[in-house]
A = this chain, B = another copy of it.
């Protein structure tokens, strides 16, 4: 039976027929790998996700973690899933061999991980945060920190969190107030509180390794005075074993619309619940140098942002597959041209409007998946570049595509979930079917790891103007290559190439027009509209690449790719024209709006 989580056929197409990730095995870092090892990982992940993760997805939604004032209880299936994942050595799947990792390419690891997000995004969250945490420590931690904290995480004995936000500082990290006071032994004591920390309290692992942003008194104001600390739930004893309770404690659980299976916490640090070593404050260990915390966190944050994008894709994808299945099985109504009311009803997949809703989903989720796997390959190229030029190009493209890879699927794969509900009709609105949960779960993605608005400021305010527009130029070169290849083929695909080329040229000239007057407020006023137009053009490019990879091939799968590409070029890309017109006008409607007029 075909999986309703993801399409392995599509993954194979994207990874091998389009991105040719098997060729990455020619590079030193991946020399132990081959298409066979990639396939083995993908097979394993599909099996584990199906068996241990999908099976309690509804249950963990209906049974949120509870807090009795002392301990947090999570349904036991979450721990079973955690163990299955950890025992398969998947936590370290893309880590260095020196740490016991499998050194999988990021493109493959992302595809592998997507099975779990599609099956159960909440349970997968515990793992994703642990892997992100471990990844950061592997780069910036000391050998001692690696042995004490990272290795137990890779073994699944410890779990990890990322503790950045505070009640008064969500999007604005410059305003955090948690402070870290240096101690004579080189450690720190932390005081403050953290908000929105996922996975930060449970009994599934022996310890929880919190990576906490805090300010060392006397440092610079704003983000330049922020440092990064390891603050474990239990202080390690002299042998590295789990010692006494640290003073980082749960102040309360947040109750969310979706992603209910993972604890989301308010944490208090150094508030006196415990006094490790007989002293006040939560024991923390500085990671790297003082005041460099934001820089460290941002390396990781880019990966986390792509991870959020892939999570959004996964939820969109499984909703799409479930709605296709439903549409095939549900009889309702007759064709517009059929007049006999006594004729049997037809499956709704035969109605044009249902096909439209399924095609839109297909275009969004397969487009999003392709975008994220392409970003994964850029991570691999960056890491294993054969030349400075190759690295530079990969870095420029990745910088440009990261805000899109985070925000585009968060918007459009959520739209896919909305359509999946609509295809299901009234049934889709009930909790007896999965799609309403996917929609609720997916609604988090435009918010966390930098909202839609924050991504748009990153793209337009930082990435576009950086290095004199080098990122836009690099992307233009890449798009131009695809356009030339497609134009040479003639027919429908050449028309798509021309359409993409025109949209891209318009985007580039509008971008210049926006900055020309030198009014930064006006240029940035519609950054979110810019992000949306930019994203749709990028995904049109990704669809053109898929159409190219499918060109000349016959069969249902390739026909479907061509039709979805056609859908994207006819229904979606044209939406950018009025957006670009608006941007070119440097419209001041929002800037001129006054608080008192609302």
A271 within 8 A of B: no
Residues of B within 8 A of A254 (CB): 426, 430, 432
Q: Contacts A426-B447, A457-B336 hold; do A571 and B560 have CB atoms under 8 A apart? A: no
A346 to chain B, nearest CB (A): 10
A481 to chain B, nearest CB (A): 27
Please tell me which stretch of A227-235, A279-287, A522-530 contacts chain B, meaning at least 4 of its Cβ atoms lie within 8 angstroms of it: A522-530
B345 touches A175 (CB 8 A): yes
A187 within 8 A of B: no
A171 within 8 A of B: yes
B452 touches A595 (CB 8 A): no
A14 to chain B, nearest CB (A): 17
A20 within 8 A of B: no
Please tell me which stretch of A68-76, A114-122, A239-247, A349-357 contacts chain B, meaning at least 4 of its Cβ atoms lie within 8 angstroms of it: A349-357
B196 touches A426 (CB 8 A): yes
Instruction: Output the nearest chain B residue to A426 by Cβ-Cβ distance.
Output: B196
Task: Give the residues from 322 to 340 in chain A that come closer than 8 angstroms, CB to CB, to chain B.
Answer: 324, 328, 331-337
B589 touches A566 (CB 8 A): yes
A360 to chain B, nearest CB (A): 9
Q: In the complex, A333 Cα to B598 Cα: how many Å?
A: 21
B593 touches A570 (CB 8 A): no
Q: Contacts A443-B421, A571-B582 hold; do A352 and B524 have CB atoms under 8 A apart? A: yes
Task: Give the residues from 452 to 469 in chain A that come closer than 8 angstroms, CB to CB, to chain B.
Answer: 452-453, 456-457, 461
Q: Which 9 A-B residue pairs are closest in the complex by CB-CB distance?
A: A222-B341, A560-B597, A574-B578, A257-B436, A353-B453, A172-B333, A352-B525, A356-B590, A221-B342
Interface residues of A (CB under 8 A from B): 165, 168-172, 174-175, 195-196, 221-224, 254-258, 324, 328, 331-337, 341-342, 345, 347, 349-356, 358-359, 362, 418, 421-422, 425-426, 428-432, 436, 439-440, 443-444, 446-448, 451-453, 456-457, 461, 520-521, 524-529, 556-557, 559-560, 563, 566-567, 570-571, 574-575, 577-578, 581-582, 585, 587, 589-598
- 17 of the cross-chain contacts (CB-CB < 8 Å) are A171-B425, A256-B430, A258-B429, A336-B461, A336-B520, A351-B453, A352-B526, A353-B527, A353-B590, A354-B453, A362-B598, A556-B597, A557-B597, A560-B597, A563-B597, A570-B587, A574-B581
Query: Could you list 19 further interchain pairs (A-B, Cβ under 8 angstroms) beyond the known A257-B430, A336-B461, A429-B443?
Result: A170-B425, A172-B334, A175-B332, A254-B426, A254-B430, A335-B521, A336-B520, A336-B521, A349-B595, A352-B524, A352-B590, A353-B457, A418-B443, A421-B447, A422-B447, A556-B594, A560-B597, A566-B589, A570-B585
